[in-house]
Amino acid sequence: MRIGIVCPYSFDVPGGVQNHVMDLAEALMGLGHEVSVLAPADEDSPLPAYVVSAGRAVALPYNGSVARIAFGPVSTARVRRWIIRGEFDVLHVHEPLTLSLSLLAVLSARGPVVATFHTAMTRSRALAAAQGVLQIVLERITARIAVSALARKVQVEHMDGGAVEIPNGVAVAKFSDARPLPGWPGECAPGRDGAIGFLGRFTEARKGLPILRDAFVELARQRPGLRLLVAGPGESDDLFGRFPPELRERVTFLGLVSEEDKARMLRSVHLYVAPNTGGESFGMILTEALAAGTTVVASDLDAFRRVLDGGRAGRLFPTGDAGALRAALTELLDDPGARAALTACGDQVVSTFDWPVVARRVLEVYAAAIEATDGRVMDTEWVGLD
């Protein structure tokens, strides 16, 4: 099968959707299919051989963050040329309601279109002035995939259609085979030691670092060997300034890490903590931590609860409650048997997220979309594109 995949966000900056697209493409190629990915990227950016650059992206505030996207006449022309040259059996777009390449690809498509919705957002200010375009995009999508129950609920209740729920995948072997960072995780003596990990944009309140910080500060004063390993974008001075001076030497900041180093980071801690306070539709980092064999402690968000099988595969604590997080960390650091039981369940859960398993489910949606269109070519005339 010839498959065209469109990513709306720039490959110059790491992100969950970009990683999802690359992993899916590689899993599909591993199953014997021919795949081409179109994404924004600078012309001189190092890209996998299967990725085609649609040109430089621009930064745009979107969904509480900043998205690097591509839009306009030049991008439209590049999308159309890629689709014509690709002669794809199916076109798979990600986040098609974002003002970027995926939306343009849907409007230029001539065959079956499958769309994956990653977020649970019902509207954006960027699209408020383009409701006509929004409706046309939705009408041209042949089949929809939602990465979570919450994202699917939005499709049913707000987007006039259903969606097949297929979760984000994880390359299990990449994480389980990763080597810990030098000197980590070290001992975990009851009442004394332990290594805790956090990955994310710590300056975003919804990522919950203040909750973890408060729990860590109290614990660190009682456990002289406790350490915190942090990875993600941001300035080191900003991070260290959030901790008491006497505890800063026990906080290690890796900064923005590669996918390889992320796997190593997750293998380097006894407990991975996801203290997020909201805005999560899935919880990709949880599946990655499970794949690394690391015990997970997470906020009791609906998305996290689903990934962790209601708490069988990881410890849940009341969202926003630093005291409850501290108690959970204390218990698990002092009880290796409890950690082992959680990670054993985690191994079972994460096997269902392994990319070859997920990719086969995506292929079933492709087949249904191709059958639904029955080889028909859609009319792509729409003057608003130019």
Task: Please state the length of the chain.
Answer: 386
Q: How far apart are the first and last CA of the chain?
A: 31
Closest CA to 384 of 136, 144, 61: 136
C-alpha–C-alpha distance, residues 146 and 159, integer Å: 12
Instruction: Measure Cα distances from 172 to 20, 117, 136, 260, 287 in Å.
Output: 13, 23, 38, 13, 9
The number of C-alpha atoms within 13 Å of 113 and in the hemisphere containing its C-beta is 26
Q: Determine the pLDDT at residue 97.
A: 86
Q: DSSP letter for 64, please.
A: T
Q: List the chain residues with pLDDT less than 50.
A: 126-127, 129, 382-386
Per-residue model confidence as pLDDT tens digits over 291-319:
999 999 999 999 899 999 999 999 999 99
Residues 6+ apart with CB under 8 A from 32: none
Is the pTM above the cut of 0.75? yes
Distance CA 117, CA 96 (A): 8
Express each pLDDT in 197-228 by its tens digit.
999 999 999 999 999 999 999 999 999 999 99
- Cα 166 to its chain centre, rounded Å, is 13
Q: Which residues contact 373 (CB under 8 A, 6 or more apart)?
A: 111, 112, 142
Q: How many CA atoms lie within 13 A of 40 on its CB side?
A: 27
- Give, in order, the Cα–Cα distances in Å from 24 to each of 194, 284, 355, 358, 367: 35, 14, 7, 8, 16
Helices (H) and strands (E) in the chain, counts: 15, 15
Cβ 278 vs Cβ 339: under 8 Å: no
Q: What share of the chain is helix, strand, coil (3-state, %, to 5)?
A: 45, 20, 35
- C-beta neighbour count of 160 within 10 angstroms: 10
Residue at token pair 């849940």 = 316
Angle at 273 between CA 268 and CA 278, to 5 degrees: 145
Return the pLDDT at 383. 39
Is the peptide bond prior to 185 cis by the omega test (within 30 degrees of 0)?
Answer: yes
Cα 260 to Cα 182: distance, rounded to the nearest angstrom: 14
Amino acid type, 73: P
- The 10 Å Cβ neighbour count of residue 386 is 7
Provide the pLDDT for residue 55.
78
| 228 DSSP β-pair partners | 196, 251
